[in-house]
Structure 1
Amino acid sequence: MFIQRFLLVFFLVLGCLCKASTHPLTPRIEQLKKDITKLTYEHQFKDAQILVLEYLKQDDLKPVEIFYGYFLRADIRKSAGKSKEAIRLLLESKEYLEPIKDKAIFESLIYGNVSECYFNLHNHIKAKEYALRSIETSPNKSLRGSGHAVNNLILGYSNYKEKNYSQALYSYQEAIKQYKLSGDICEFPLCYNRIAAIYWEQGKLDLAQAALQKSFYISDSCDIDQYRLLYYSALLEYYKYQKNYKRALELSDTIAQLNAVIYNQRQEEQLHDLEIKYEMELTQKENEHLKKSARIKESDNQFQFMVLISSILGLLILLILGLSMLRIRNKKNSLLSNQLKKIEVQNKEREVLLKEIHHRVKNNLQVITSLLHLQANQNSDHSIQNLFKQSQYRINTMAMVHEMLYQSDNLSKIQLKAYLEELTYSLIGSIKDEQQTIVAQIEIPEIIHLGLDTAIPLGLLCNEIITNALIHGIPKGENGKLYIRIKELEIPSFILYIGDNGVGCPKDLTLAKISTLGLNLVQKLVRQLSGDIQKDSSKKGCHYIITFQEVE
């Protein structure tokens, strides 16, 4: 055990020396990193974003300082758990590398963080791709304290999932080397646990057990309960693999106890942080009392009398401090409780108000629809009546969105499947003949939710195509089908397949030259959604393939 602790100290010192030789950053960047780390650790992500934006407003920033500001902006999103948005911001930050001479190390930093984001999204293929790019871009340097250790951990796990065990072992060994160089020897247990899992898969049980033993020694030396838990969890899997269910059952009790210890430690840390905030003012008062006590001790000539007076004063101080602490804590708890109640009431009032706004917008749109209906009835021209009806359909499409938001608990997004189903069946009921049977085949994942800025243009687009299908595509008196299918592509893109099994589109109709208002509107709505539209001539009827993106 002594040798292990000596090696631990040795590697920590070696890591500090290696960290000191990494790429130098300006004092302004180091201070910003320190402030951002503190805020993200306390989950104050909004304040961290504001701090970065204020930093980027400075006029005298160097190119590397400008880049690092945008990079930290993306890193905050990653820390907040918003990996998809972080990937986009990380790749956008590459634009600011052009003026920097030694930019390879920064590109490596970007690719490494993108790899972590994809790994958090369980997209191991992309995570592996960007981890390799990070290492290839700057193989011998890294602005991250542990070098390329994290990249090698991601590569190791990805190769393990692909059953490429030899390459996985190599990656984990490389991760261990990087951790040694940075002095992060306490990260070894994670590597050795994964190495043990590979040896199990290969049937090399002695090597697996040896790797687990190394994991245990280092976890115990570092005195980190989380890594002890990793070791015991891996050992549990080993006993299950060996079908030693008795030892596995005994070990499960140990794991449960360790989980309880870790949970209690976290609770104590949180309680400790709260107590520190409450007792900051009391600490100053306590210091003043201690100074008074020290002066009394210095002025007293009789040792016994001094001890007696000091003891009495100490007891009185502790009693006063205890009573004061209890009173202040109760007062602050009362104030905090009242503030939370006020915030809860305000949130409920805002929610009710926002729902009422959506309801009134829907009602106003319905009033407009009724006025159009009355205006259409006063005109005997059939073509003009159709124009009024099509305007009614479009307004109803927008009104449905506000109605669904009014009825939903989520006031910012609606479920796309429910919205398009209601829209489609409403149009079918309004346009088809009584003798007709129109069937709608709608395939949309229920997990897709979109905001107003995306749902309304998409609904208007579907409204135009479905209306054309019901009026022109499927002959009156004949039965028909409508097809709507949406697939989610790479974030934040989608693809929409929509069409009918009617008589088909006119042969001379091309999307490049459109004369009708409806299809012209479709083209504009597709552009509004940053998408593209194509005709699908391989199926019977009139079909379109539309790609679009969520508007943020």
Structure 2
Amino acid sequence: MSENHIKIDQILFLALFLVFNTSFSQTTKVVDSLIAILKTNTLSKKERSKSLSLLAFNHQDLDTALFLAQQSLKIATEIKDPLLQGNALEEISHVERRLGNNSKSFEASLEALKIYESLKLIEHQSASYAQLASNYISDKEYKLAILYLKKSLSIYNNSDNLSNYTIATLNLGEAYRLAGHLDSATTCFQKAIKLNDQVKNELISGYSLGNLGMVYAAQNKFGIAKKSLDTAILTLEKLGDLYSTSIYLAELGEIYSKQKKPILAEKKYLEAITMAEEAGLKEQIRDFSAILRSFYEEKQVYEKALLYQKMFQTYQDSLVNKENIQKIEQLKSSYEIDKRESKIALLNTINTNQKFAVVSLIVGIIALFLFVYLLYRINKKIKKTNIILSDQKEIITKREQEKALLLRELNHRVKNNLQMISSLLNLQSHELTGHPAKDAIVSGKYRVEALSLVHRKLYQEGVDTKIMMKEYLEELVLGLFHGYDAKFNPYFDITNIGIHIDVAIPLALIINELVTNSLKYAYKKIKHPTLKVIVLKDFEDYLHIQIIDNGIGFDIQKSRENNSFGIKLITSLVEQLEGEIKLKDSKGTHWDINLKIT
């Protein structure tokens, strides 16, 4: 189930408004009270905007909360109150993120941050940094998320607001957890729990315990993990936080699955996805449906597996698309450009004032005036030239960004399509149990998965055409070992270099065929099987590859006489890379291959 591990990418929340140490029933009373206040006709527009924003924050229905926050922003814009605009934009960002609309959330966060920077409201800027960190986490850009959270924590560390400091510490721990830095995450969560002894906020307690439970689960400390998660679920469900409760329920399902308790695991998964559907949480529905698809596929309940596969694809296609990615990147660039333009405008103003001072001093001195005039003309020409060069550079940069985005999206789409084909082949192979065609279907599945792995690496690592060979080949071989239920571990000696996709794909297929052949046929009556995968850079342009097993040996002549497709495929791919392949004499099978990689 590890490939579908739950993505808690939105536990981060706005510290600016986090003052709820009330229960769910108290929150309901607050909502009812605010609705009653808004029905009166005595409120000023400023008071109405404030009340709408506060009501949006407390309202349990996300669609209603979004509408209220938008109305608050509309009134704040009418009365030209920038602080109220910033508050409303923060709330819009918060709700849009929970609805799975990350591009809209990002846009609102940046607009709020610009307002707070113009008003020089430091603590408000800190809250926006935390919200931007949430957006970066949604994009899996964990380094940037940690950077913005450290900025937020630094600001709160110098303030008297212990509650905000505690929340920033909790958020930083969650970013560390998602980035895989479990020790740093544990330190932050434990610190947040200790600080909360003074703050006494139930939500902070629930989030800290829940996230700490997830760290323990990742470390296989299942007993203490379940205890922390159960306490967090009781706390947050009582407060009406369906979003976080659903995530922690699914994490409990993961623990029960690892403990081989399928009935309990299924129960928790179904509770989680039902709760996510009730709350309209698109990303969580997508993630939980992927988990259930794998769960039922492992249990050979293929009808349910297919049902949840379709649900996953529906929500995946609605959440990930090129338009959203482009919009987010444009917003990021726009924010940085606006900041630079403000600095340039300030410098231009200073420069203009200096020119006026110089002109006042040189009036009447004709010779000096002519000299300055010539300098001015030269300077003007230089500026025009610089503007032309700047425009050309901007066009080139924009085209390169668009090219990278399109290529990344292409890799993503190819990966999705190949994964769908692999799933269909897998389902078909189960239907052909005992049939001679099953082996061909399974072999085809692993070849498709080898191709899919290339495109998944390109998409995840954000590169155009190269992937790191060591991690890629190890993951490929370990996947085959898992698929064939091998009871021993392979030995790896692989140089960690970047290889082009044109080399990665045929290399993956060659190793896939040779390792598959060993796993299927080599180890009959072998008590202590071994398999070595050695890939070293021999010369500047060549890879030296060795696949060695201690099995019963391989008769290549017999294989050719049987017209083996695998041998034909390997030979063709080696020739494609201008290489050579030899079968060395040894106890077992020893393939020796040289491939040209440039």
Q: Could you state the TM-score of these two structures normalised by the residue count of structure 2?
A: 0.37
Larger Rg over CA atoms: 1
Q: Which has the higher contact order (CA 8 A, sep 6+)?
A: 2
